[in-house]
């Protein structure tokens, strides 16, 4: 009870945790305290001078995004030679610089670049790239290009570094059905939700009575000492779920709305994140997912639709944050596990490749295009050579946005990329 709240106050606040009594492990009680007191977010941050309110949103573009058809090198003949069927015609590209431009469906993205809230980091990858979805995704999640098996991810290690003896479940919130490895910490796995309406336990109401059932539920699910791993994990997850569901739904209730979002799953995730930010949920990192980038065949229409979703979804999100007055607090970082082969295949698609651009959004970023385009002619096995290590991007975010020491989290020093001052 080091946060200055006595057990009595704790009970008076009517927290569900009470029934667990002495069996509650310390991290759970601290969890409950943190959630009742948004100022406890201080326990996961920060360095003097770094705003404690900074929030990171990670967007995972699953499947391997075709970077060359996203940030299009329209000034480069090699691009057109490699892609007779799939290249975006020069006249359709939304020009950003003299020889680089955006896919024609990214008009909202371009508007954000012009407003100074969107940027692209070119040629991001890592040495000896894996072309396996699963291995490469794991490498991005663990920030370990050696691909060693790990139980915690880079964001999880950030949580652990700030809060070594406890976990605050809502420090990391994932929107989706399974928790990404990136967010897993030694101290616990955080909160995942998809739909706030189903994010609550419902008593059966007409039997023992709702209140009685709630209490019996806690008796049944209270963690106990010395139980084997899996059942202990289940009990802790259940208690975290019940505690955080109350807090999340309360945060969401405060949301005013008014900004229209596109009607797709990704936009729905971004809207839910905006709702939680509006409700001042004590969360440092949110995680959202897009899927479908694995465009081996007939890529054109699918890829265009996905880039449209990315641009319009993030655009709506930032207009929402502006309306809330929270736009200063939030950056978005979008990545994919790899880019795609420079040359198209024979089925109007592209196979797995290597380096690709990342995307970054926020009012306090340096907008525009960062880094250099990898050569389209000096390839390794037909694939691009990366010019920026993805861990440099992580290091920049950890250092300049989250106020953490990147070397401790990533294992060594990486150059910063100047998209954050």
Partner 1 sequence: MSQHTLAKFVPSESNRWDRAKAAHLLNRAGFGGRPDEVDRVARLGMDVAVDELLDFRRYPENSAAPDFTNLRALWEAYAQLAQARAPQRERFEANVAALRADNQKMQEVREWWVSRMIQSARPLQEKMVLFWHGLLVSGKPDVQQAELLFMQNELFRRNPLGNFKEMILAISKDPAMLRYLDNNLNRRGRPNENYARELLELFTIGIGNYTEQDVKEAARAFTGWTYRNYEFTFDARQHDDGPKSFLGRAGNWDGGDIINIIFEAPATARWLPRKLFEFFAYLRPDESLVEELAEVFRRSTFEVAPLVRAILTSSAFYSPKAMRTQVKSPAHLVIGSARLLGADSAMIPNLIRAMDLMGQALFYPPNVGGWPRGEGWITTSTILLRYNFSSLLLTGGMPGIARRPSTRPAVPAGAQRLLDGAGTAGEVVNRLVTAMAAGALTDDRKTALIRALGAQTAQAPFVRDGAATEAKLRSALHLLMSSADYQLS
Q: What part of residues 65-124 is at the interface with partner 1 (CB under 8 A)? A: none
Which position among 25, 104, 131, 268 is part of the footprint of partner 1 (CB under 8 A)? Answer: 131
Nearer to partner 1, 111 or 351 (CB): 351
Distance of CA 410 to the CA centre of its chain: 17
Distance CA 192, CA 403 (A): 24
- x-marked contacts with partner 1 along 53-72 as a string, rule CB under 8 A: ---------xx---------
Residue 303 lies near partner 1 (rule: CB under 8 A): no
The Cα–Cα gap between 319 and 253 comes to 19
Q: How far is the CB of 369 from partner 1 (least distance, A)?
A: 30
Q: Is 226 in the site for partner 1 (CB under 8 A)?
A: no
Piece of 3-11, 86-94, 129-137, 259-267 that binds partner 1 (CB under 8 A)? 129-137
Which of 31, 69, 221, 309 is in the footprint of partner 1 by CB under 8 A? 221
Establish if 296 lies at the interface with partner 1 (CB under 8 A): yes
Q: Is residue 174 involved in binding partner 1 (CB under 8 A)?
A: yes
**Pairing between strand 356-361 and 118-125?**
antiparallel
Which H or E run includes 252? helix 229-253
Return the SS3 of 185.
strand
Out of 42, 216, 300, 323, name the contact with partner 1 by CB under 8 A: 216
User: Is residue 79 within 8 Å of residue 340, measured between CB atoms?
Assistant: no
Query: In the set 4, 49, 91, 198, which binds partner 1 (CB under 8 A)?
Result: 198
Residues paired with 289 in a beta bridge: 60
Using alpha carbons, select from 155, 99, 143 the residue that is nearest to residue 122: 99
Nearer Cβ to partner 1 (95/132) = 132
To the nearest 10°, report the CA torsion of 342, 343, 347, 352. -40
Token pair in block for residue 344: 């198209």
Near partner 1 in 248-267, by CB under 8 A: none
Query: Is the torsion defined by CA of 98, 68, 102, 118 positive or negative?
Result: negative
Task: Determine the Cα–Cα distance for residues 127 and 223; give it in Å rounded to an integer.
Answer: 44
Residues that bind partner 1 (CB under 8 A): 62-63, 130-135, 169, 174, 177-179, 189-195, 197-204, 206-208, 212-213, 216-217, 219-221, 224, 228, 230-231, 233-235, 237-238, 240-242, 244-245, 291, 294, 296-298, 344-347, 349, 351-352, 381
């Amino acid at each position: 009870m080091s946060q200055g709240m006595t057990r009595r106050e704790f009970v008076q606040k009517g927290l569900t945790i009470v029934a667990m009594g002495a069996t509650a492990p310390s991290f759970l009680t601290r969890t409950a305290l943190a959630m009742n007191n948004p100022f406890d977010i201080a326990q996961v941050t920060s360095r003097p001078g770094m705003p404690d309110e900074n929030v990171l949103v990670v967007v995972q573009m699953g499947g391997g995004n075709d970077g060359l058809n996203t940030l299009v090198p329209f000034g480069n003949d090699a691009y057109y030679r490699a892609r007779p069927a799939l290249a975006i015609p020069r006249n359709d590209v939304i020009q950003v610089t003299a020889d680089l431009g955006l896919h024609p469906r990214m008009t909202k993205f371009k508007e954000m670049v012009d407003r100074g809230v969107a940027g692209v980091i070119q040629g991001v990858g890592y040495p000896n790239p894996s072309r396996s979805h699963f291995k490469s995704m794991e490498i991005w999640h663990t920030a370990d290009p050696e691909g060693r098996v790990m139980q915690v991810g880079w964001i999880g290690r950030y949580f652990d570094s700030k809060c070594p003896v406890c976990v605050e479940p809502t420090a990391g919130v994932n929107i989706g059905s399974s928790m990404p490895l990136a967010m897993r910490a030694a101290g616990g796995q955080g909160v995942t939700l998809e739909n706030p309406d189903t994010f609550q336990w419902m008593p059966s109401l007409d039997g023992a009575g709702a209140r009685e059932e709630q209490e019996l539920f806690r008796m049944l699910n209270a963690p106990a000492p010395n139980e084997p791993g899996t059942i202990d994990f289940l009990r802790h997850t259940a208690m975290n779920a019940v505690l955080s569901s109350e807090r999340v739904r309360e945060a969401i209730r405060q949301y005013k709305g008014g900004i229209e979002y596109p009607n797709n799953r990704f936009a729905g995730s971004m809207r839910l994140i905006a709702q939680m930010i509006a409700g001042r949920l004590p969360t440092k990192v949110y995680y959202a997912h897009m899927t479908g980038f694995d465009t081996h065949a007939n890529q054109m229409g699918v890829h265009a639709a996905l880039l449209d979703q990315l641009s319009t979804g993030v655009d709506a999100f930032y207009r929402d944050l502006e309306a809330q007055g929270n736009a200063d607090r939030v950056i978005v970082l979008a990545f994919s596990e790899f880019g795609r082969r420079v040359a198209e295949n024979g089925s109007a698609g592209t196979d797995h490749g290597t380096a690709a651009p990342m995307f970054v959004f926020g009012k306090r970023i340096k907008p525009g295009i960062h880094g250099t385009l990898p050569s389209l002619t000096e390839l390794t096995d037909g694939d691009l050579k990366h010019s920026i290590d993805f861990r440099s991007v992580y290091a920049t975010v950890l250092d300049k946005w989250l106020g953490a020491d990147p070397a401790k989290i990533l294992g060594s020093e990486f150059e910063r990329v100047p998209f954050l001052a």
